[in-house]
């Protein structure tokens, strides 16, 4: 059930996106796959944090260290999505903008990096970002991509492989909301959106429903 609270004058609603995540993975791939060196650290997966109006989020400090509260959320739920949130004007000028090929699952930073947290954002004040994006971001525990590679016969040497090209012959759509979270980047104009996760446990990919409409590069920072 969603939980609602008041934070600095804003009403905040938090909702788990995929309850019983481990069970879903095992149901999809089978107990034998889960016994092949695959582990998933998340009982439930994905946390959606929605504010009732647009607010500035102090998500990281001047040294690019992610706030401890957000780290705790990520440790428990894998990926955290914020709606109606944006960074300060100074922070919005930082970082870079990226977009990748569709369904190329990867991590941004190797597990032994210092800055293991990926911070994606859609800036509601940016003349391009203020419009909804036509492509989305898919996120899953790295165990999902490893299990899928077993199914497709392209088994990785390790469950922590950096990159997978998957789902060429299988529809990914039915898996969204079951074993994958989708950040759609399609909130109305004027709504800031943020997606944060840990590259040690999560793989992600761009997803083009229409190959001719891959959309704009999204804002990216890599945090400590």
3-state secondary structure the chain: CCEEEEECCEEEEEEEEECCHHHHHHHHHCHHHHCCCCCCCCCCEEEEEEEEEEEECCCECCCCCECHHHHHHHHHHCEEEEEEEECCHHHHCCCEEECCCECEEECCCCCCCCCCEEEEEECCCCCCCCCCCCCEEEEEEHHHHHHHHHHHCCCCCCCCCCEEECCCCCCCHHHECCCEEEECCCCCCCCCEEEEEECCCEEEEEECCCCCCCCCCEEEEEEC
Q: What is the pLDDT of residue 172?
A: 96
- Domain residue spans of the chain: 3-223
Structure tokens at 224: 């400590």
Parts of the chain with a pLDDT under 50: none
Q: What is the pLDDT of residue 138?
A: 98
Q: What is the pLDDT of residue 134?
A: 95
| pTM (predicted TM-score) | 0.95
Q: How many CB atoms lie under 10 A from the CB of residue 206?
A: 21
Q: What is the pLDDT of residue 52?
A: 96
Q: What is the pLDDT of residue 38?
A: 75
Q: What is the pLDDT of residue 41?
A: 92
Q: Which of 134, 136, 132, 135 is nearest to 189 (CA)?
A: 132
């Amino acid at each position: 059930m969603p939980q609602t609270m008041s934070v600095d004058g804003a009403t905040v609603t938090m909702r788990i996106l995929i309850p019983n995540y481990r069970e879903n993975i095992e149901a999809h791939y089978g107990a034998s796959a889960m016994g092949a060196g695959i582990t998933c650290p998340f009982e439930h997966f994905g946390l959606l944090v929605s504010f009732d109006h647009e607010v500035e989020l102090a998500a990281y400090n001047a040294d690019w260290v992610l706030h401890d509260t957000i780290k705790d959320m990520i440790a428990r739920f894998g990926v955290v999505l914020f709606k109606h949130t944006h960074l300060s004007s100074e922070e919005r000028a930082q970082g870079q903008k990226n977009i990748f090929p569709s369904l190329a699952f990867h991590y941004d930073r190797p597990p032994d990096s210092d800055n293991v947290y990926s911070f994606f954002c859609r800036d509601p004040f940016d003349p391009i970002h203020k419009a909804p994006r036509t492509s989305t971001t898919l996120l899953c525990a790295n165990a999902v991509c490893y299990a899928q590679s077993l199914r497709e016969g392209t088994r990785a040497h390790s469950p922590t492989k950096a990159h997978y090209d998957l789902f060429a012959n299988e529809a990914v759509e039915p898996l969204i909301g079951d074993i994958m979270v989708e950040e759609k980047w399609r909130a109305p104009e004027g709504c800031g959106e943020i997606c944060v996760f840990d590259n040690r446990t999560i793989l992600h990919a761009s997803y083009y429903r229409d190959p001719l409409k891959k959309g704009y590069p999204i804002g990216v920072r890599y945090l400590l």
